[in-house]
Amino acid sequence: MSKSDKRSNNSMFTTIYVEEKALEYPITRQLLQKYADCPVVTIRHYKDVFNRPKQHFALQKQNQSLILAVKEGQFLYKGPEVCQNFGHPNFYYTSFVLNCVFDCEYCYLQGMYPSANMVAFVNVEDFKKSMEEVLVEKQAFLAASYDTDLIAFHNIVPYVDYFYDFFRENPDLLVEIRTKSTNQSFYRNHEPLENIIIAFTLTPAEVIEKYERHTPSLEARIKAVNTAISQGFKVRICFDPIFIDPEIDHAYEPFYRYIFTRIDPGSILDVGYGFFRMSEDFFKRIEKIRSSSLLYAEDYCKDNGVISYPSHVMEKIQKEHMSILYDYIGKEKIFTL
Ligand code: SF4
């Protein structure tokens, strides 16, 4: 386990809040036993804590609390336009967990949620029921590690374990688990499934240093990629988000070349590629709470409610990057957004 992944291990929560109706679920009982030293507060509804006004996202990130809750209403959502569907028209996502153990400066979650505390939903059987109703026999693509990093969270709640048999029994459901985690034991302890893709986000060391607090180093991520490949997992590499920044631009060519000297391009399923982008609403909220962030102080373009770089600049940079990536990966295996 990397130093950063230790954040997902013991004693990282200041308080555990538990919804009254979540108290009797097995996940709750296990967690309260595991974190027996952590103060526990019973609450009526998770939103009473999570949606409180005037919370300080950045401060809470340093001292996260965990909220155990029962998910109600909608369990599956149609994938948004700003996310890649990798050619699958039936693209859905689900959120077993809200928020993340990592703290990326560019993360849209800061604009989406009023709190940096983590919510873990304990009624996993209800998620399965909903997936059965909506997705099964539909050849759907499901982003399961959405609004969080499930593998980094695995040492806290092993959600993937709770769904593994379900995924195995429903081969038409193609599941992507996106991660920056280097929890290599995960790949050693799980059998690879045809319909599970592990999607590793790889970024130049300069980007990790500048924007991806608490995440594992590039070296550690490369090792995790190679462990997953050697254990037989289908592996996707995500070069996403790409930044256009004079401090970082020079880093991409050596980064791509280094990645494909360390990772056999023939062993990966495909590559995702996308520039930094965010819904305008989220961007505006983050701009206020990250007032010292240079990332949110830059000039961007707005297109259809999405903030990103000017399209002619993206086209130019993408062309340059693709001319490097094509040395290693066929065009048909690179999905751009
Ligand atoms: S790893 Fe993903 S979900 Fe977690 S903070 Fe970073 S961008 Fe957000």
Task: Give the DSSP letter string of 67-106.
Answer: EEE---S---EEPPTTS--TT-SSEEE--SEES-SSEETT
Which whole number is the average pLDDT over 7-21?
80
Distance 100 CA to ligand 1 centre (A): 6
Q: Has residue 209 got a pLDDT over 90? A: yes
Residues 210-234 have pLDDT tens digits of 999 999 999 999 999 999 999 999 9
Rounded Cα distance between 57 and 116, Å, is 5
276: left (phi over 0), alpha (psi -120 to 50) or beta: beta
CATH number of the domain at 4-336, out of 3.90.1170.50, 3.80.30.30, 2.60.40.10, 3.40.1450.10? Answer: 3.80.30.30
- What is the reported pLDDT for 58? 85
Task: Using the predicted structure, report yes or no on whether residue 104 has a pLDDT greater than 60.
Answer: yes
208 CA from centroid of ligand 1 (Å):
12
- Which one of 97, 104, 151, 201 would you pick to mutate in the ligand 1 pocket, going by the greatest count of ligand atoms within 8 A of its CB? 104
Q: Considering only CA atoms, give the Rg of the chain.
A: 20
Residue 129: what residue type? K
* Other beta carbons less than 10 A from residue 205's beta carbon: 15
* Length of the chain, in residues: 337
**CB of 149 closer than 6 angstroms to any ligand 1 atom:** yes
Q: Compute the distance between CA of residue 324 and CA of residue 308 in angstroms, rounded to an integer.
A: 23
> pLDDT band at residue 24, thresholds of 50, 70 and 90?
very high
Domain ranges of the chain: 4-336
CB 126 within 8 A of CB 166: no
Residue 78 pairs in a beta bridge with: 92
* Structure confidence at residue 139 (pLDDT): 85
Determine whether the shortest distance from the Cβ of 277 to ligand 1 is under 6 A. Answer: no
